[in-house]
Amino acid sequence: KQWYQRRVREDDLKKFPGHHGGLYIFYMKPDGGSDLRYPVYVGVTKQSFKERFQRHATHGVIHEVWNGKFPTALDGLGLYVYCTHYHGDVAKRIKSILLETFDFALKNGRSTIDISESYPAEWTKRNLEFPWEELKKIADGEDEEEEMRKKKKIPSEKGGHFIRFLLDELNCNIDMYDQEQIKDPDDVNKFPAHYGGLYLFYMKPNPTSDVRYPIYVGVAKKSFRERFQRQANDNFTGILGKIWSGEFKFEGHGVYAVCTHHQGPAAQAIKKLLLDSFHFPLKRNRRGQLRRELDTSEQLPAEYVKDNYDIPWKECLEKVAAAGQ
């Protein structure tokens, strides 16, 4: 499998994924539309593809090509790359099989590439002792792992972009106190006292930042103000109280709120979807445990979450629409 193939030029480095890595193969070809491909390097990165390729541009494969050191005595070829979804031990095993079977120029110190002929895939399958069955088992095992991974919960902080996308799709008519940090109990008094509904608490580094890390989702049955006052004053279950007391570690960030107009069954449907799909640090699990530290390691793009995790968000939209009728 592959996610994409792209030419590697200086302006392209920023376009590669910055939130995941895995198995990748550099290859040369005459132009983007050509079916001729000459693989020259195979690698695995634990970092993101973007970060790894930036290192290659400084002192690796990309640097060699851009500076005319590879390939020698041959012009008219550009550098491209396959980025795959295989990662971890599976990626390493596939890489090992490829290196045992093929002589990659830039993996073995060759400065030239052989473009005299390119064997058809079927001929290679019949005439090389290539462990196809082993490779298929590895790939099938990875697919099973991928399906299991899709069903796992994502830390809510990493799903911030998707959660905002979902709220937009739901036409939440959001009241966002986006530049008004909730610093103490007095700040709670600014929230609506005449209605409640679905709400989220989230952290951000400063009032003007567009980076948001969701940490809690709830439903206020009475009013937002009344519910937030309880969150501020209850030392055991109060989310705001835990944040202000230092029980939850969030160095360099403040807490903010999103208040929506969704109430009743619609609010409960959205809350259930979010809790089933994301691990909110300040929402107790079945054992009564909390995550006590904010995860700011990365935020996944909304499209990536939609494509790579089984989140039934469209069904949620239908439930919310039905509840509003």
Name the DSSP letter for residue 140: H
pLDDT at 3: 41
CA–CA dist 259, 167 (Å, integer): 11
Q: Is 288 exposed, middle or buried (0-12, 13-18, 19+ CB in 10 A)?
A: exposed
- Pick the closest to residue 216 from 233, 229, 208, 228 (CA basis): 228
- Give 304's contacts (C-beta < 8 A, 6+ positions apart): 17, 19, 20
Contact (CB, 8 A) for 239 and 228: no
For residue 177, what pLDDT is reported? 67
pLDDT in tens, the chain (325 residues): 334 455 677 677 878 877 778 899 999 998 878 888 999 999 999 888 888 999 999 989 999 998 888 998 777 888 999 988 787 788 888 999 899 889 999 888 888 888 888 888 888 878 877 777 777 777 666 555 555 454 578 899 999 999 999 988 887 766 666 778 999 999 999 998 999 999 999 999 988 888 899 999 999 998 999 999 999 987 667 889 888 888 888 888 999 999 998 999 999 999 999 999 999 988 776 656 678 888 888 888 888 888 888 899 999 999 988 887 5
CA-nearest of 283, 263, 260 to 166 is 260
Q: How far apart are CA 275 and CA 118, in angstroms?
A: 52
198: its two tokens: 């679905």
